[in-house]
Amino acid sequence: MERDPFKEYLKESEPDKAGRSYVWSTAIGLQAVDGLKPSKYLIDTAIKNIEGEITIKEAQSLIDSYYKEKPVHMPDEQRTEEADKVSSRIAEILSETAFSFSPNEYISIHRKLFQGIYKHAGKIRDYNITKKEWVLDGATVIYGSASELRATLEYDFSQEKDFSYRGLSMDEIIHHLAVFISRLWQIHIFGEGNTRTTAVFFIKYLRTLGFSAMNDIFAENGWYFRNALVRANYTNLQKGIHETTEFLEVFLRNLLLNEENELHNRDMHISGLLKTEKADIGSKKRTLKAKKWTFEIKKRTLKVYFQEKGRTFPLKQQTVFADCLKGSVMRKCLEEAQLWN
């Protein structure tokens, strides 16, 4: 991953700078869930806000003006515009303390993030969807039925609202949070933008539970978060695959408890082939590196040996020494040198 331009601000002693850096870093990192990357202009504008030179509203105004003056024509440019605008809007929402745990708040966040970008911003989809998932080897999660989306959403919210965390261990709390957010995401009530909306809503909700979540986990692992949500909602008994929140729980432990568990997308792939292949590649690289060092050690050994002995040998034999240094038959060379000695 590229160096986070906001990393240094997270370590600042000044709370405002660290806080602004966190929201921007998270906002930009979440674009990775849809394979988006913001522009350099967005990064520069964000830094001005972090430094206190401009407000978040002024940053958004600059970004809007930038794209009005620079009309986009290519699909890639449109996606960059989306990444820039949605990043600034996420940063604004995460900067606010106001929050209401309700379906309307969830829908409102989607509207705020994607107004003017998606025609369906803030609207519940009226059609069924499937999405090919890399982590499922091209298979799809079974998303909520279009005819039941509102009812399912309200049911999940009512269940969570009535749930009591009293007396639970931290492991139990994290497991429950993983189940709740994975079920909320599985409904997929919008046509697009579900993961970013869910992440923003979840961060705001976590704050009401006393978690600050002020670290770089979302910023650096947005795609992992999405893949973990996918694995929490996919079962294929014929292939021996069961839905699991284990990956999501590891993510949450890093986010909420500042643990440092390794987060690798390949570990979640249902085939297991990528993990093995990666390990094989790593093993081959280590083997090649070891061979390279072995060759270098042999080369240096020969060089020292020849420098010590070469001057007493005839010109023909010294020529062979030079060839040995350039070749790959070190052992044979050494054997011959030992015989000559």
Instruction: CATH number for 102-271: choose from 3.40.50.2020, 1.10.443.10, 1.10.3290.10, 3.40.50.720.
Output: 1.10.3290.10
**Is a pLDDT exceeding 50 seen at residue 111?**
yes
The domain segmentation of the chain, as residue ranges, is 1-96, 102-271, 277-340
**Is a pLDDT exceeding 50 seen at residue 320?**
no
- The pLDDT value given to residue 243: 97
Q: What percent of the chain has pLDDT over 90?
A: 69
Distance CA 266, CA 188 (A): 24
Q: Decide which of 41 and 300 is more confident.
A: 41
Q: What is the pLDDT of residues 250-308, one digit of tens each?
A: 999 999 999 999 999 999 999 875 444 444 444 444 434 444 433 443 444 444 444 54
- The pLDDT value given to residue 215: 78
If you average pLDDT over residues 14-38, what whole number do you get?
A: 89
- The pLDDT value given to residue 2: 59
**Average of per-residue pLDDT values in the chain:** 83
- The pLDDT value given to residue 29: 94
Confidence of residue 157 (pLDDT cuts 50, 70, 90): very high
Distance CA 224, CA 229 (A): 9
Tokens of 196: 């970013």
- The pLDDT value given to residue 75: 73
If you average pLDDT over residues 156-161, what whole number do you get?
A: 98
Q: What is the pLDDT of residues 44-103, one digit of tens each?
A: 999 999 999 999 999 999 999 999 988 766 777 789 999 999 999 999 999 999 999 999
Q: What is the pLDDT of residues 228-240, one digit of tens each?
A: 999 999 999 999 9
Closest by Cα among 15, 18, 16 to 6? 18
**Is a pLDDT exceeding 60 seen at residue 314?**
no
In single-letter form, the type of residue at position 91 comes to A
**Is a pLDDT exceeding 70 seen at residue 326?**
no
- The pLDDT value given to residue 17: 87
Tokens of 218: 């979302």
Q: What is the pLDDT of residues 198-215, one digit of tens each?
A: 999 999 999 999 998 877
- Dihedral sign for Cα atoms in the order 311, 317, 318, 322: negative
If you average pLDDT over residues 138-152, what whole number do you get?
A: 97
**Is a pLDDT exceeding 70 seen at residue 341?**
no
Closest by Cα among 13, 12, 9, 33 to 23? 9
pTM of the model: 0.76
